Every structure is written in C-alpha cells, then in structure tokens.
Structure 1
Amino acid sequence: METVIEINNLTKVYKNGRGITDINIEIYRGDIFGFLGPNGAGKTTAMKIMTGLIKPDSGDVKILGYSVLEDFEKAIEKVGCIIETAESYPYLTAFENLKQFSRFYDNVDNKRIEEVLELTGILKYKDEKPRKFSLGMKQRLGIAAAILSKPEVIILDEPLNGLDVEGMIDMRNIIKNLAKKEKTTFFISSHLIHDVELTCNRIGVLYNGRLLNVDTTKNILNNYASLENYFISEVERNGRI
C-alpha cells in the first residue's frame, strides 16, 4: 500500500492546555480516513498543521512524500481542503467563485467548473450568489472548490455540517466514488459518529488531544455493535485521559 499522508509525533499545545500530543498516523492511497472525536478534541488543530495554517510545536506531516514544514508548496500542490468553514466571495455567483479559484490551476476550464457544480448538486444555482445560499448550499460550493483541480488528497474538516439528509447522502457518495474511481485519498474530521461509520474505511479516535487507536471500519464493526460502542469503549479503556 502506498503511503500518501504520514503524521509523525505531531504535537501542538496552546496556552490553555488544549491541542494535540504525539499524533502518529499513516494514510494510504484511496483511503477515506475518519478523524473521529468530540468538539475540542484537537481535530481542527491537526488539520490546520497539515495544511500549513499553523506550525506544530514538534513533529511533522508529509503529504505525497513532501514535508509541510520543509517543502510546503510541493506538499500541498495536489491537495484540496476545507478547514472549519467553506469560504466564498459573497458577491460573485457560484460559477464566478469557481472561475476565480480556477486561476490557481493549469488544468481547470469552464467544462470542469460545470462538472463539479453538477457533481455537488448546485449546477442549477450557478448564476446565484452564495450570500443567498443556505449553510448546506455553501458547504456544497466549498466541496466543489475543494475537488475542482482533481486533487490526489482531499482534507475536509466537518464536511457534512449544515447538510440535510439528502445532502449528506450526496456528499458521502461523491467521496466514496472519488476514492474508488480516482483513488483520491480523503482525510475527514467529524464528531458525527454515524456518518463516519457510513463514509470511512479507516478510523482514528481522537480524545483530549491524544490518538487512542486507529483501525479499519470493517474490523471495528466485526467486534462491536456500532462505531458508537467502539468509541465509548476506547474512551473508557483509556481512562478518559
């Protein structure tokens, strides 16, 4: 299996004592890796380090063999991401937003823009401005932007926030299809246990800034009635550190 993301001894602790401590994970080509943990567990901190938004106290992240600390441009070149919230230009249309983003890439034309708008279910709203969009619609536009350049790695922080049931199913199918057909590697954070269970093939449990365990979804569900049972078991077994 080809390792696409390597997280080595990653630590970032804030003045209030929160953050992450000594995180180690390997993620392989085509994985849909779920970073599962409650709000405040440190998921977003790890993802901000992965995408160069903050620097760790120690440790490193390599994406496609390149360190985000030492060779950031090469590490992030084939990465699409949404961290915390999906941002857009409120006074440009959905199409114009993606047109603006396309300027950063060599391989994105109008046909590709329409393709991702259709894929995320908002093609019919392409001439509307996102300041009028619901939270779920803004999230769909953010996903469209994240997959615009056909990246090899996609990092999504709480991607299902604000989506209705139909939207969640659509996003789940998009993620699974890209992983299966394009071998796109996903790193997804969520506190929504049910959605992680239905979406991800490997899961890491993060609690109080520490990684408790990493396992395949298949193996977890062979041994526990549900991912929720597994999560509770892991937290209790580790003494709510």
Structure 2
Amino acid sequence: MEKVIEIKNLSKIYKNGRGIMDINLDINRGDIFGFLGPNGAGKTTAMKIMTGLVRPDSGDVKILGHSVLEEFEQSMKKVGCIIETAESYSYLTAFENLKQFSRFYDNVDNTRIEEVLELIGLLKYKDEKPRKFSLGMKQRLGIAAAILSKPEVVILDEPLNGLDVEGMIAVRNIIKDLAEIEKTTFFISSHLIHDVELTCTSVGILYNGKMLSVETTKNILNDYASLENYFISEVERNGRI
C-alpha cells in the first residue's frame, strides 16, 4: 500500500493547555480516514497543521512524500481542503466562484466547473449568489471548490455540517465514488459518529488531544455493534484521559 499522508510525532499545545500531543498516523491511497472526536478534541488543530495554517511545536506531516514544513508548495500541490468554514465570494455566482478558484490550476476549464457543480447538486443554481444559499448549499459549494482540480488528497473539516439528510447522502456518495474510482484519499474530521461509520474506511479516535486508537471500520464493526459502542469503549478503556 502506498502511504499518502504520514503524520509523525505531531504536537501543538496552546497557552490554555489544549491542543494535540504526539499524534502518529499513516493514511494509504484511496482510504477514507475519519478523524473522530468531540468538539475541542484537537481535530481542527491537527488539520490546520496539515494544511500549513499552524506550525507545530514538534513533529511533521508529509503529504505525497513532501514535508508540509519544509516543502509546503510541493506538499499542497495535489491537495484540496476545507478547514473550519467553507468560504465563498458572496457577490459572485456559484459558477463565478469556481471560475475564480480555477485560476489557481492549469487543468480546470468551464466544462470541469459545470461537471463539479452537477456532481455536488448545484448546477441548477450556478447563476445564483451564495448569499442566497442555505448553510448546506454553501457547504456543497465549498466541497465543489475542494475537488475542482481533481486533487489526489482531500482534507475536509466537518464536511457534513449544515447538510440535510439528502445532502449528507449525496456528499457521502461523492466521497465514496471518488475514493473508489479515482483513488482519491480523504482525511475527514467529524464529531458525527453515525456519518463516520457510514462514510469512512478507517477511523482514528482523538480525545483530549491524544490518539486513543486507529482501526479499519470493517474490523470495528466485526467486534462491536456500532462505531458509537467502539468509541465509548475506547474512551472508557483509556480512563477518559
């Protein structure tokens, strides 16, 4: 298996004592990895480090063999991401937003923009401005921007936030299809256990800044009735550290 994301001894502690401590992870090509933990566990901190928004106290992240700290441009070249909030230009239409983002890439034309809008379920709204969109529609537009350039790695921080049931199912299917057909590797954070169970091929539990366990979803569900039962078991086994 080809390692696409390598996280080694990653730590970042803030003045209030919160953060992440000594995280180690290897994610292989085509995996859909679920970073599962409660709000405040440190998921976004780790993902900000992965995308160069925050510098760690120690450790490193390699994406496609390139260090985020030492070779930032190379490490981010084939990465799409949403961290915290899906942002857009409120005065541009959905199509114009993606057109603006397309300027960063060599391989994105109008046909690709419409293809992505169709994929994410926004093509019929392409001439509307995001200020009129619901939270879920804004989230879909953000995901469209993240996958616009056909990245090899997609990092999504709480991607299902604000989506209705139909939207969740649609985005879940898009993620699964891209992973299976194009071997896109996904790193997804969430506190929504049920969605992680239905979407991800492997799961890492982060609790109070520490990794409690990493396991495939298949193995978890062979031993536990649900991912929720596994999560509770791991947290209790580790003494709610």
Q: TM-score range by the shorter chain?
A: over 0.9
**Superposition deviation, residue 134 in structure 1:** 0.4
Aligned to 2:35: 35
Offset from partner CA, 1:153-210 (integer Å, 9 cap, x none):
0000000000000000000000000000000000000000000000000000000000
Letter in 1 for 2:139: Q
Normalised to the residue count of structure 1, the TM-score between the two structures is: 1.00
Cross-structure match for 1:123: 123
Say if 2:177 is the partner of 1:191: no
Q: 1:64-108, CA deviations, whole angstroms, 9 ceiling, x for partnerless residues?
A: 000000000000000000000000000000000000000000000
2:204 paired residue number: 204
**Identity of matched residues, %:** 85
**In structure 2, how many angstroms separate the alpha carbons of the residues matched to 1:226 and 1:31?**
20
* Aligned residue number for residue 147 of structure 1: 147
Structure 1 segment 1-241 matched on structure 2, within 5 A = 1-241=1-241
Q: What CA distance in whole angstroms lies between the structure 1 residues aligned with 2:232 and 2:157?
A: 22
Q: 3-state SS of the aligned residue for 2:9?
A: strand
> Alignment length, in residue pairs?
241
Cα distance in 2 between the residues matched to 1:94 and 1:58 = 40
| TM-score, length-scaled by structure 2 | 1.00
Q: CA deviation at 1:231?
A: 0.1
* Structure 2 unpaired stretches of 5+: none
Provide the C-alpha distance between the structure 2 equivalents of 1:218 and 1:235, rounded to a whole number of angstroms. 19
CA distance in 1, matches of 2:98, 2:225: 42
- CA distance in 2 between counterparts of 1:32 and 1:209 reads 21
Q: RMSD of the TM alignment (CA)?
A: 0.2
Runs of 4+ in structure 1 off by over 4 angstroms are none
What's the secondary structure of 2:10's corresponding residue?
strand
The alpha-carbon deviation at position 115 of structure 1 amounts to 0.3
Taking the aligned partners of 1:231 and 1:123, their CA distance within structure 2 comes to: 38
Distance 1:132 1:49 in 2: 32
Question: Quick one: distance in 2 between partners of 1:131 and 1:211?
Answer: 38
Shift of 1:50: 0.2
Which SS does the other structure have where 1:16 is aligned?
coil
Q: Does the residue aligned with 1:204 lie in a helix, a strand or coil?
A: strand
